[in-house]
Amino acid sequence: MNFPLIMLIALVVTGVIWLFEIYALKPRRVAGAKEPMLVEYSKSFFPVILVVFLLRSFLVEPFKIPSGSMMPTLLVGDFILVNKYTYGIRLPVANQKILEISQPKNGDVMVFRYPEDPSLDYIKRVVGVPGDKINYRNKQLSINGKLLKIESLGSYSYVKSGLNFVNANLYGEQLGGHNHQTLVQPEAPVLRLGDVRQFSNRENCAYNDEGFTCTVPQGYYFMMGDNRDDSNDSRYWGFVPDRNIVGKAFMIWWNFDDLKRIGKSID
């Protein structure tokens, strides 16, 4: 469901009805006569829809985390806020950038439109910006020939959908200016080669049983989930074009299952 498009349609319809009332219906109406119900509703809802539309389009937009691909940074059920202007001002619906502000940086947690189906919003961590050479071997990332600093933090257990119990190793990782945590399942393969699809600029990547190497083309980004062995990300469906960027995730504003997470910043 394209919610921004629905909001835009509702905004246009209520606005047109209100203007039609002002310039066509009201001058012809008998003094004291009641406004039609449709006009009354449009006048009431138009300002509300306008404010919500502007806030969601240019300032902040709420999202709900639907999967565990970003654990332990983000949990299923987290409601997050996304900054819509950090990476530039974009036209609503068309998502066309009209004002450049900044570019995504390594380590940012970013919401974007899934390249294979732009009607879906995904959230992952930026691990490669244009020009970066990404290498993933032995379940450890290196960028432009430099291994990322990691620190073993013990074990981490969680329950997946279907009541599958997962035991993973917990690591602290430094990427760009971000210090965050990742999960690695020791028994899982480094890469699910059978899940790698054909995608734009596929020739920039080389895969084998030990991992992969990808060079990020200009205008694209390479995304990975913090839950490294349980994430459907750029390793499998490719690079994210700049035009698909939605915004930068910056705060958890609600979680029904864990109120202590409310207000937590996203690093």
**Which active-site residues does the annotation give?**
69, 124
Could you tell me the CA-to-CA distances from 216 to 31, 81, 121, 193 in Å, in that order?
Answer: 67, 27, 21, 19
Dihedral in degrees, nearest 10, Cα atoms 241, 246, 247, 251: -130
Q: Tell me, rounded to whole angstroms, the distance of Cα 191 from its chain centroid.
A: 23
For the chain, counts of helices (H) and of strands (E):
3, 17
Residue 76: what residue type?
A: V
Give strand ranges (E) for the chain. Answer: 60-64, 79-83, 89-90, 97-99, 109-113, 121-128, 133-137, 140-143, 146-147, 150-159, 165-175, 178-184, 205-208, 211-215, 220-224, 240-241, 245-254
